[in-house]
Structure 1
Amino acid sequence: MVFWEDYGISDEMMGTFAPIAMYWIYGGIYHMLPSLDHYRMHSRKEEEQKNQVPMATVIKGVLLQQFCQAVVALTMFSLTSQPDVQVVQQPLLVQIGQVIVAMLVMDTWQYFVHRYMHINKFLYRHIHSQHHRLVVPYAFGALFNHPLEGLLLDTVGGAFSFLLSGMTPRTSIYFFTFATMKTVDDHCGLWLPGNPFHLLFQNNTAYHDVHHQLHGTKYNFSQPFFNIWDKVLGTHMPFALEKRADGGYEAKPIKDN
């Protein structure tokens, strides 16, 4: 028994709306933090000058994507659930294995779709460029995409991760909530000491920040967990974190020669 069942909330409903709630809670925590200029990847002046879309538009775009995401999730759960069959949770080690499979499936799907949206000039110009209007990323902008990209990259990728991993709706609650937190963290624009995501993953805030810069748009396509495909297929751009003179950090590419 889990607490949400006491309120008549199914695992399917929780799996649909918990990640959405976590997006705004976790993103809100970042936005409520004090200035922390000494940990920023970019100065506030850069954010004001380089970003090409106001936050109000970003929030509206994210809400639209989350609405579409919820519709698809509820539809998928309704098609795959069996009301007359009691779903049994697998042992913890099995669930961990399912989560790892789901992470690899999501990474694989997002890498190739994301990379193709950069290679195909039409798709980049009319669809993926919307996400790159945030040259200086911040937490609430993690899911700011064209609605078609949000559907194809995140929602369809999430559905494949769920179906191919064999996880139950209850396990998916934890997986998709964690994936949402990871995505928000990758776009937070802060390099905070002791951040567990930075300690556990090489694909992190600085790694993805490189991709959002002009010199990195053809590199570091991997998201949201590992950088395996970048390294295998030669699109990995190594970088060094350096202190800026005005405070904060800068991810500078490391040249091979």
Structure 2
Amino acid sequence: MNFIDRFTEPLRFAIENGYNYLIGKYFLSNESSLDLYASILFVLIYWMIGSLFILMEIYEKPKFLMHFKIQKGKSQIQKIALQRTIKQVLINQLLTLAIAYWVHCGQRMPHSNRVPSLTRFLLEWTVFFLSREIAFYYSHRILHHRLIYKHIHKKHHEWQTPIAIAAIYCNPIEHLISNIIPVVIGPYLMHSHRLTYYLWVLYATLLTLSDHCGYHFPFTLPPIFHDFHHLKFNVNYGILGLLDWIHGTDKQFRESKYFAKNRIYFSLNSPSALLSE
């Protein structure tokens, strides 16, 4: 055990004991029940955050937040489109819950019983990021192939100006191969503890909502990279941008005015105002 892990071992041990107590007291040591409740919680978080952005778009309030909108003056919230989006998202979430039930109740996804040390946790998350980037980038590029796009991926691009709730508005086939698999492949390969897995899924849920929200708020990761993909279609296929840089599929983005805004801002001014100063 290295110095970092020795130093943080009391915290790791406390988290592990707390987790085991929670499972024993509230779930009768049945972790499959916890998986179900966690999955439902992620669905609720998705709708709570997504609904807030819908209200912002419809009523354009609070006004001071409108300055952070990426595609200025563009809003396409229409009742029919919104109803269609809500219906498809619910279908995809039911698919997610069904797969989660099949995987976890059938114990088809291996999990460690030991809460990881800090260095192990960081290693696992590094694998998560890289495996998700590889799986998402290449599946996403395949979905943009002219023989596939109009049959599957075109649905997701109905929102040229994206909104948060449309993050998983897509064909169920796409949802499986481009949303679910890239997220779970890392924890599956690493046999991660459930807490590590839950934190990762929570992060992935919040990130995809942010990437599709259409706003670039201060102190948050910039969603401009993926927003530009919705604007121009055939660029920025990845999440981190690493494979786009390697394959040159971010060239148009790098040459655009949006590239300069693709960073975290530590000011309450809008990115556009900061760039004009």
Identify the TM-score tier after normalising by the shorter chain.
0.7 to 0.9
| Alpha-carbon distance in structure 2 between the residues aligned to 1:156 and 1:86 | 20
TM-score (norm. length: structure 1): 0.79
| Alpha-carbon distance in structure 1 between the residues aligned to 2:118 and 2:198 | 14
| Alpha-carbon distance in structure 2 between the residues aligned to 1:93 and 1:26 | 32
- Check if 1:157 corresponds to 2:182: yes
Alpha-carbon displacement from aligned partner over 1:82-103 (angstroms, at most 9, x marks no partner): 99x9812121321222122112
2:115–2:193 contact (8 Å) kept in structure 1: yes
| Alpha-carbon distance in structure 1 between the residues aligned to 2:140 and 2:187 | 19
- From 88, 109, 116, the counterpart of 2:114: 88
- From 9, 18, 28, the counterpart of 2:51: 28
- Counterpart AA for 1:211: H
| Alpha-carbon distance in structure 2 between the residues aligned to 1:7 and 1:31 | 35
CA-CA distance at 1:74 after TM superposition: 2.1
Q: Percent identity?
A: 23
1:40 aligned residue: 69
| Alpha-carbon distance in structure 1 between the residues aligned to 2:35 and 2:212 | 27
The 5 Å alignment of 1:232-247 reads: 232-236=246-250, 237-238=253-254, 239-241=256-258
1:206 aligned residue: 224
Distance 1:48 1:144, change over 3 A: same
Unaligned runs of 5+ in 2: 1-17, 57-61, 262-269, 273-277
| Alpha-carbon distance in structure 1 between the residues aligned to 2:112 and 2:149 | 45
Distance 1:60 1:167, change over 3 A: same
- Check if 1:228 corresponds to 2:242: yes
3-state secondary structure, aligned to 1:193 = coil
| Alpha-carbon distance in structure 2 between the residues aligned to 1:161 and 1:69 | 17
| Alpha-carbon distance in structure 1 between the residues aligned to 2:132 and 2:157 | 21
Aligned-residue RMSD, C-alpha: 2.9
TM-score (norm. length: structure 2): 0.74
CA-CA distance at 1:70 after TM superposition: 1.3
| Alpha-carbon distance in structure 1 between the residues aligned to 2:244 and 2:48 | 31
Asked which structure has the greater CA Rg, the reply is 2
2:173 aligned residue: 148
| Alpha-carbon distance in structure 1 between the residues aligned to 2:201 and 2:122 | 13
Alpha-carbon displacement from aligned partner over 1:106-129 (angstroms, at most 9, x marks no partner): 1110100001111x2231001000
The 5 Å alignment of 1:44-123 reads: 44=73, 46-48=74-76, 54-80=81-107, 87-118=113-144, 120-123=145-148
Greater helix percent: which structure? 2
1:193 aligned residue: 218
Unaligned runs of 5+ in 1: 199-204, 251-257
2:198 aligned residue: 173
Q: Which has the higher contact order (CA 8 A, sep 6+)?
A: 1
CA-CA distance at 1:142 after TM superposition: 0.8
| Alpha-carbon distance in structure 1 between the residues aligned to 2:151 and 2:120 | 42
Structure 1's consecutive aligned runs of 4 or more residues displaced over 6 angstroms after TM superposition are none
1:253 aligned residue: none
Give the length in aligned residue pairs. Answer: 232
3-state secondary structure, aligned to 1:222 = coil
- Counterpart AA for 1:39: F
3-state secondary structure, aligned to 2:70 = coil
CA-CA distance at 1:59 after TM superposition: 1.1
